[in-house]
Amino acid sequence: MTAYVIAVLRPTLPVHADVLEYIERVQGTFEPYGGRFLSHGKPGEWMEGERLGDVVVAEFPDLAHAHDWYASPAYQEILPLRADHIPGELVFVEGVPADYDASRTATAMREVRVVRR
């Protein structure tokens, strides 16, 4: 099942030289794990809640590939270049199948009685 790596980052100006090096090198760390950027550093249109930062979304074939990428020596080597200069959050999330129907999720939740009234 496709997995997504989503980061919300709060860069500061001026941009640190380490961050530029990270950006130059990060895509190369994706390639052995089938990863690719879907969105990179866009401010996003925050429809609800307050703007938290710039959004980065990457896609991997599955969670195992995403975890292997994150733990890889190549990524761990460059991670401090970003993390030391840009605060933010990073989450891995598994996608849903093409035939996903949210109403089935609601039905399953009702069956285990997780609905509050």
113 vs 68, higher pLDDT: 68
Average of per-residue pLDDT values in the chain:
93
Give the per-residue pLDDT at 62. Answer: 98
Give the chain's length: 117
Distance CA 62, CA 35 (A): 10
User: Radius of gyration over alpha carbons of the chain, in Å?
Assistant: 17
pLDDT in tens, 25-37: 999 999 999 999 9
Q: Is 55 exposed, middle or buried (0-12, 13-18, 19+ CB in 10 A)?
A: buried
pTM of the predicted model over 0.85: yes
Share of the chain above pLDDT 90, in %: 79
- Does position 115 have pLDDT exceeding 60, yes or no? no
Per-residue pLDDT, averaged over 89-102, amounts to 95
- What per-residue string of b and e applies to 64-102 under the rule 16 or more CB within 10 Å gives b? ebbebbbeeebbeebeebbeeebebeeeeeeeeeeeeee
Q: Is 29 exposed, middle or buried (0-12, 13-18, 19+ CB in 10 A)?
A: buried
- Does position 117 have pLDDT exceeding 90, yes or no? no
Give the per-residue pLDDT at 109. Answer: 84
